[in-house]
Amino acid sequence: MNQFTELTQTAKAWPFEQARLLVKRLARQGRADGEVVFQTGYGPSGLPHIGTFGEVVRTSMVRHAFEVMTNGAYTTRLIAFSDDMDGFRKVPANLPNQDMLTQHLGLPLSKVPDPFGTHDSLAAHNNARLCAFLDSFGFEYEFISSTEYYTSGKFDDALRMMLARYEQVMAIMLPTLGLERQQSYSPFLPISPSTGHVLQVPVLERDVDAGTITFTDTDGRLKETPVTGGHVKVQWKPDWALRWTALQVDYEMSGKDLIPSVQQSSKICRALGGKPPDGFNYELFLDENGEKISKSKGNGISIEQWLSYSIPQSLSHFMYQKPKTAKRLFFDVIPKNTDEYLQHLAAYDDQDDKAKLSNPVWHIHNGNPPTHSVPVSFSLLLNLASAASAQTKEQMWGFISRYVPGASAATHPLLDQLAGFAITYFRDFVLPEKSFRLADARETKALVDLVARLRALPDGERDAQVLQTEVFAAGKAAEFENLRDWFLALYEVLLGQTSGPRFGSFIAIYGKDETITLIERALAGELV
């Protein structure tokens, strides 16, 4: 074991903590090598959302930590499993052609027409969207369709086992159900030969040797159907256990709201002769109102929306941080996570190996972070876009190139991307909320003093610390009891917002003379 691998054995980052638990599982099972299976699940009734991405990226981080920790002793697979044979029970509000979709409620998702008109089914469309965004992030994974595994016979052995141990499965499930639901419950949901719908009906007879069940179809007739070959779909908790057993899954995480389901599915998995996977329960994402993000409500941020306003790594950073803490996921978190990612990236090269293993960028970039130089924060770019009313990256670079001599879009491609994102974010989120106010008497005195102090500095002064010192001095001279009130005044009067960057850095990039002009316009009431 080399020194770096040794450090992973005690690394405190949560992916390593999870990897160590998985190593212990394998040791208990006497598995010193072979294949280790990681799985994530997706319900394609709605469009892929950030919660879906979060599960994949976090699982990938654990997978990579495990591979490094075990030094290649095992091969690994990451399965992205789509439950696309599930019955279509509710039309998500964010899908088009609502009336058409309503007419197909009850069908397997893989049989519901695509409301977008681009694929053979709703499931095929959403599966394609899932794979497209996984591919765009460079994830290494194997996509599996529930429909394909049911209909091709790949689940047949596990389905026959569930039929043979039907009573054990029922004994696990029935105590968790209400009295009315108990009367109709069966782990097997037959696909109606008459309508093609996924039926929630009682199983009247079972023939283990023949591998069939008998039920009453929608036309009132008794029907006998095989449990194999795609003629039934299993209820989702038993289905989860079926999947774990058939695919021999070693690791799968899930949301905190699914803890009872994990417990029930684990019992069923054991009843089928399988071993439930390891994993942990992450906290849920909340929208800006503190409500759970839902595919059917469409109240979250889509992957495409986040990527319209920042780099992909900022989204991965959001997912890495505190997975067991509930976090609000709305557009205001994008700039913060962008800057935190950039700060961690800037610190990485100067860290020792132990510190690197705890740096989020090590996990975001599979142990090989890029060496990008980004000398301007995203929040500073946002305020530059605001003060300059920038509409193009060329306008932004007119300021940036003076602040960072010799820098250009060619020499700083990441900074160029961020400049474009800053313009878009400013236009869509900051500009509509901007609200300038006039300065009061004390603020006016301080602003006039700041103009005088800036004029006294050498032409072209761009030392952010020197400029920040003058800003502080103006606030102190105006006898602000709390200098935070002075900086709040700067943001509200000059930028029309309640927060902003370190003001000396803003002056450095925007320009001393330009800042003087901005202050004079504010004092003249031209910004209100």
Question: For 67-103, how does the pLDDT look when each residue is reduced to its tens digit (9 = 90+)?
Answer: 999 999 999 999 999 999 999 999 998 899 999 999 9
Q: What is the percent of the chain where pLDDT is above 90?
A: 87
pLDDT for 300 beyond 80: no
Q: What is the pLDDT of residues 161-213, one digit of tens each?
A: 999 999 999 999 999 999 999 999 999 999 999 999 999 999 999 999 999 99
Report d(CA 475, CA 473) in Å as an integer.
5
Q: Give the ranges where 321-405 is alpha helix by DSSP (H).
A: 333-348, 353-356, 360-364, 378-388, 393-403
pLDDT score, position 297: 59
Q: What is the mean pLDDT of residues 389-413?
A: 94
pLDDT of residue 166: 98
Q: What pLDDT shows up at residue 7?
A: 92
3-class SS at 263?
helix
Per-residue pLDDT, 294? 63
Whole-Å CA distances, 123 to 146, 148, 309, 344: 10, 12, 28, 38
What per-residue confidence (pLDDT) applies to 364? 97
Contact present, 326 and 284 (Cβ < 8 Å) = yes
Residue 371: band (very low, low, confident or very high) from pLDDT cuts 50, 70, 90: confident
CA distance 54 to 414: 23
Cβ proximity of 145 and 119 under 8 Å:
no
Secondary structure (3-state) at 223 = strand
3-class SS of residue 56: helix
pLDDT at 299: 61
Q: Quick check: 46 pLDDT over 90?
A: no
Identify residue 76 by its one-letter amino acid code: T
Number of H helices, E strands in the chain: 24, 12
How confident is the model over 235-291, as pLDDT tens digits?
Answer: 999 999 999 999 999 999 999 999 999 999 999 999 999 999 999 999 988 777 777
Domains in the chain: ranges and CATH: 3-174+235-282 (3.40.50.620), 287-348 (no CATH), 378-523 (1.10.10)
Tens-place pLDDT, residues 113-158: 999 999 999 999 999 999 998 998 899 999 999 999 999 999 999 9
Compute the distance between CA of residue 24 and CA of residue 134 in angstroms, rounded to an integer: 29
